[in-house]
Structure 1
Amino acid sequence: MGFEGADALDGTRIAADLREDPLGLSPAAARSVAATLLADGRFSEPYCEWLPTWYELGLIAPVRYGEWRLRRVAAAVADAAAVTVAAPRFSRPRDVTIDGRPALARVSGFRERFLLADALLHLEWFDHAAAADGVEVPAALVDRTRQESLSYYGGDRDRLSEPVRRFQRLLFADDAWVRRVDESYGLDSRLFGLWERLLRAERERLASA
């Protein structure tokens, strides 16, 4: 999308430094890492609330444990570099109305809820992580993407504007991240496989729209 500041940090170098000495990062790198870890940890519980109850109940315990672990690591990284990083707040269904109705009034199936949740929460995740990295994402684009995406995935809108469609196509590219996690930890997870397929299909659909 050509955001200003996108090249300010060297992600490859930070990843290497993190493996070698996670408590020896520069303040800028530590802020980036801690912000990402906090966002990753906080992301999943609100996400579960957008999905069917059986899904939320099945994952809530490991999700909360994962957040606790990530918060501990984030705090250690931030403290070592003497930086302060706050966790983001992600939207839950009770916080949102779509075209004048409750957020989930017009979505019922797992796929529909999954895509609605990802379109909103991944936008919020990206906005938080980008700010920590010094990437300037125009507030007007974030607001427009939020409003259009909510209506498109959960309301009356039948198409996304071109800037929002391109932005969401990039946000839905986390299918690659899901696959890497599954492969790196040897999970061979059916759930991760489902997430990857849904994300990839939506990314490809947006690319061809």
Structure 2
Amino acid sequence: MTVLALAPLRTPADFADWYRPGADYVIRVAEGMGFPTGDFPALADEAEAAMRANRTGGDVAVEVAQTIVADLLADAAFGPPFLEWTPLWYELALTGPTHYADWRLRRVARKYADTLDHVSLPRFSRPRDVLYEGSPAIDRVSGFVDRFAFADAITHLEWFDYVATECGLPVPPELVARTREETVAYYVGEKTMDDLTPTVRRFQHLLFTDDVWARDVNRRYELNSALFTLWERILSRERGRFAPQ
């Protein structure tokens, strides 16, 4: 099977296996960094159960709905900006499926967002937003794999910051800013891995456990997808590189 097997997904129950790996990712990174997670693990369990039962709207507690909305909206918004970091052939091949997934994820998220007083929409960086010495930093990175890894290093930081914050987890803004700055410096060759602040290195090591997300989605939906396997391989390589000494 391929990623086309995801096309029929429509209901909250269909997306429960999409939501859960994202929630687990937030928990894994937060706990690894020592950020308090509060009730979030329990809320994630409730959210998954609600989605599997197709319970939405007033049948779901506001705090539970918030976790679902944050996760699905972040995933919906993630794809189009990320594609701009990739080669044209890759972007063209995945633009259609990415926008379709964006639409489907937003439709499901809307079933839970209607009960919330306010919803913040995530925004992810495009290459023009990440500069080094006045020019797009990506121009200093060569090769598909390294460019993909650099793009993910920036955007998964933003994804985690948005989702965790929306779910009430404290993420130090100064750490996010420092991680972004040092990550750019590393990928453009200004810093070596040993030059990175230990906390930043540990943070990126944990953020690159999105290889687990790729593997889980591939397994849960029985995709046997070469694309998801490629993502997992690249992200796993980077996770190993950032492993604390």
TM-score by length of 1: 0.94
Matched, 1:143 2:177: yes
User: 1:64 aligned to 99, 104, 114, which one?
Assistant: 99
Pairwise CA distance, 1:158: 1.4
Q: State how far apart, in whole Å, the 2-side matches of 1:22 and 1:170 are.
A: 32
Determine the structure 2 residue equivalent to 1:97.
Answer: 131
Matched, 1:15 2:48: yes
Determine the structure 2 residue equivalent to 1:47.
Answer: 82
Matched, 1:107 2:138: no
Matched AA of 2:79: S
Same amino acid, percent of matched pairs: 49
Determine the structure 2 residue equivalent to 1:132.
Answer: 166
Pairwise CA distance, 1:167: 0.4
CA contact (8 A) 1:31 1:83 kept: no
Pairwise CA distance, 1:104: 1.7
Q: State how far apart, in whole Å, the 2-side matches of 1:96 and 1:208 are.
A: 25
* Local SS of the residue matching 1:105: helix
Q: State how far apart, in whole Å, the 2-side matches of 1:60 and 1:187 are.
A: 19
User: 2:66 aligned to 7, 22, 31, which one?
Assistant: 31
Aligned residues: 207
* Local SS of the residue matching 1:207: coil
1:124-156 CA-to-partner distances (Å, cap 9, x unmatched) read 000100111100101100000011111112341
Pairwise CA distance, 1:117: 0.5
Matched AA of 2:172: P
Q: State how far apart, in whole Å, the 1-side matches of 2:211 and 2:129 are.
A: 27
Pairwise CA distance, 1:40: 0.1
Pairwise CA distance, 1:98: 1.9
Q: State how far apart, in whole Å, the 1-side matches of 2:127 and 2:61 are.
A: 38
Matched, 1:118 2:152: yes
CA contact (8 A) 1:99 1:155 kept: no
Q: Which moved more, 1:128-137 or 1:152-161?
A: 152-161
Matched, 1:183 2:219: yes
* Local SS of the residue matching 2:118: coil
Q: Which moved more, 1:102-111 or 1:143-152?
A: 102-111
Q: State how far apart, in whole Å, the 2-side matches of 1:90 and 1:158 are.
A: 26
Q: State how far apart, in whole Å, the 2-side matches of 1:19 and 1:86 are.
A: 25
Matched AA of 1:37: L
TM-score by length of 2: 0.80
Q: State how far apart, in whole Å, the 2-side matches of 1:66 and 1:173 are.
A: 22
Structure 1 residues 99, 151: closer, same or farther in 2, change over 3 A? Answer: farther
Matched AA of 1:170: L
Which ranges of 4 or more aligned residues in structure 1 deviate by more than 6 Å? none
User: 1:156 aligned to 184, 187, 190, which one?
Assistant: 190
Pairwise CA distance, 1:82: 3.4
Q: Which moved more, 1:101-110 or 1:85-94?
A: 101-110
Q: State how far apart, in whole Å, the 2-side matches of 1:208 and 1:201 are.
A: 14
Determine the structure 1 residue equivalent to 2:232.
Answer: 196
Q: State how far apart, in whole Å, the 2-side matches of 1:173 and 1:152 are.
A: 19
